[in-house]
Amino acid sequence: MTTEFWNGNRAAAEAARQARVQVVAAYPITPQTHTVEYLSEYVAAGRLDARLVRVESEHSALSACCGASAVGARTFTASCSQGLQLMSEVLYFASGMRFPIVMAIANRTLSVPVSIWADHQDTLVNRDCGWIQLYAASVQEVYDLVLMAFRTAEDPRVHLPAMVAYDGFILSHASEPVEALPDEEIRALLPPEPPHLRPLLDPNDPKQFGEVLFPDFYPDIEYKKHRALEESLEVMGEAFEDFHSRTGRRLSPVETHGCEDAEIVLVGLGSMMQTARHAATRLRAEGTKVGVAQVRVYRPFPDRDLVEAVGGARTVLVLDRDIGYGSAGMVYPDVTRALYHAPSRPDVLNFIVGTGGKDITPKTIERCVELGRHGYRGMSVFWPDARGPAEGIAYTPGVKA
């Protein structure tokens, strides 16, 4: 293992290179652009034997990956924000066709107003398109999760595409030390050299794909796709184990810090959970028992791991770096659903933080904990960042207890 000093985009590109991707198709968009530029450099320098499809749009980027995947190639793309939205139609096509495409996403909010900064709006609105969704909290995780994404997506029990999301600029552009694996190790970690996947489109075995399915059979296919995504959690668990034995790094669907005896548990995705850890440590020193549960695997949603992580905590604070307009943050409903049947059934409050790149500082987290300490009191969705009514915090009234 070597220690490198990489930013998130570089880490994603290096992982894709080491995974020996064969076809890369992507379109520039800040803050993802460098990922494709790095890959272009690797190909130009002969470090990667792949073809770059220099497409004219993100819609075509993902479509080209679908084509390559249909003849058994390992494919990679990267995008975010407006680009990911432009792909939306093809996201469903890719998962419906069960193409194990891997996509890196440097999270960025959606226009308008225009902003190039991070929040999770772009990936969360696409949470239900049948892709595996992984969220990294550090550059190391970006690297690790891209590898895990290839391994899980291509597993014959899964055969679904996977997204690895990491916060734009905060992770995509900031450099951190990364423990990189040697190529041989990665060869052992991932499925064999493509095309180990049977090509769908083969003149020697002609078949028809992408066709109409009548209502009588539609639910069966939907159920199979859903189950495959759910079961990918177990497959990923095996991959995490193998990864641990080779690297000593332990990955889990939900990463916990100080949850064992916590009264309040913070739940959320991405780099803000590092900040949450930092704040939790401080709060603990002051006597408040705060734990942190970082949801690393968001699709499939790890219900059981989350319930375990929360344990007997009285209050759960869901930090959403996004907003499901007219409802709540988008992670919130998943958490409440999982905890509804939990033995302790804690109060679950929602905090909309860091949208459009607003800094999430330890103070932000402390503010959430402060508000959370007072309990539910008829309010469920808080906006500690926004300039709102009366006491300076905007809130959406929840259902009265």
Partner 1 sequence: MTVRLKDLPTEELLHKGNLACAGCPEMVGFRHVLRALGPETIVINATGCLAVITQMGVPKVPHFHVLFENAPAVVSGIDDALRVQGRREGVNLLVVAGDGGTADIGLGSLSGAIERGQDFVYVCFDNEMYMNTGGQRSGTTPYLARTTTTPVGAESRGEPRTEMRRKDMVEIAVAHGIPYAASASIGYPLDLVERVEKAARVRGPTYIHVHSPCPTGWGMDPAKTVEAAQLAVKTGCVVLYEVEDGKRRITRGVARRAPVEEYLRLQSRFRHVVADPVALAEVQRGVDERYAALLARMA
To partner 1, the closest distance from the beta carbon of 105 in angstroms equals: 19
Our CB check for partner 1 shows the closer of 73 and 319 to be: 73
CB 33 within 8 A of CB 168: no
Our CB check for partner 1 shows the closer of 196 and 363 to be: 196
Our CB check for partner 1 shows the closer of 54 and 282 to be: 54
To partner 1, the closest distance from the beta carbon of 259 in angstroms equals: 44
CB 347 within 8 A of CB 354: no
Our CB check for partner 1 shows the closer of 56 and 184 to be: 56
Residues of span 184-243 touching partner 1 by CB under 8 A: 194-195, 200-203, 205-212
Our CB check for partner 1 shows the closer of 84 and 148 to be: 84
Which residues are CB-neighbours of 42 under 8 A, at least 6 positions away?
13, 17, 48
- Euclidean distance between CA atoms 230 and 226, whole angstroms: 6
To partner 1, the closest distance from the beta carbon of 318 in angstroms equals: 35
To partner 1, the closest distance from the beta carbon of 349 in angstroms equals: 41
Residues of span 83-112 touching partner 1 by CB under 8 A: 89-90, 93
To partner 1, the closest distance from the beta carbon of 128 in angstroms equals: 19
To partner 1, the closest distance from the beta carbon of 192 in angstroms equals: 14
Question: What DSSP state is assigned to residue 126?
Answer: T
- Euclidean distance between CA atoms 64 and 51, whole angstroms: 11
Confirm or reject binding of residue 400 to partner 1 (CB under 8 A): no
- Euclidean distance between CA atoms 76 and 62, whole angstroms: 9
- Euclidean distance between CA atoms 202 and 154, whole angstroms: 19
Question: What DSSP state is assigned to residue 166?
Answer: E
Taking CB under 8 A as the binding criterion, the range among 50-58, 174-182, 240-248, 256-264 that sits at the site for partner 1 is 50-58
Could you report how far apart the first and last alpha carbons of the chain are, in Å?
Answer: 54
Site string for partner 1, 345-384 (x = CB under 8 A): ----------------------------------------
To partner 1, the closest distance from the beta carbon of 234 in angstroms equals: 30
- Euclidean distance between CA atoms 272 and 268, whole angstroms: 8
Q: Which of 5, 44, 49, 337 binds partner 1 (CB under 8 A)?
A: 49
CB 321 within 8 A of CB 360: yes
Our CB check for partner 1 shows the closer of 77 and 107 to be: 77
Q: For partner 1, how many residues bind (rule: CB under 8 A)?
A: 43
To partner 1, the closest distance from the beta carbon of 347 in angstroms equals: 45
Our CB check for partner 1 shows the closer of 164 and 197 to be: 197
- Euclidean distance between CA atoms 62 and 60, whole angstroms: 5
Q: Which amino acid is at 281?
A: T
- Euclidean distance between CA atoms 194 and 16, whole angstroms: 14
Question: What DSSP state is assigned to residue 196?
Answer: -
CB 15 within 8 A of CB 143: yes
Put the strands of the sheet holding 315-320 in their side by side order.
254-257, 290-295, 264-268, 315-320, 347-352, 379-383, 394-397
Give the residue among 2, 31, 264 at the shortest CA–CA distance from 169: 31
Our CB check for partner 1 shows the closer of 193 and 260 to be: 193
Give the residue among 302, 292, 372, 368 at the shortest CA–CA distance from 337: 302
Our CB check for partner 1 shows the closer of 57 and 344 to be: 57
Residues of span 9-38 touching partner 1 by CB under 8 A: 22-23, 25
To partner 1, the closest distance from the beta carbon of 148 in angstroms equals: 23
Our CB check for partner 1 shows the closer of 22 and 355 to be: 22
- Euclidean distance between CA atoms 370 and 388, whole angstroms: 17
Residues of span 59-88 touching partner 1 by CB under 8 A: 59-61, 63-73, 75
Residues of span 314-333 touching partner 1 by CB under 8 A: none
To partner 1, the closest distance from the beta carbon of 201 in angstroms equals: 4
- Euclidean distance between CA atoms 300 and 79, whole angstroms: 21
Interacting residues toward partner 1 by CB under 8 A: 22-23, 25, 49-51, 53-57, 59-61, 63-73, 75, 89-90, 93, 194-195, 200-203, 205-212
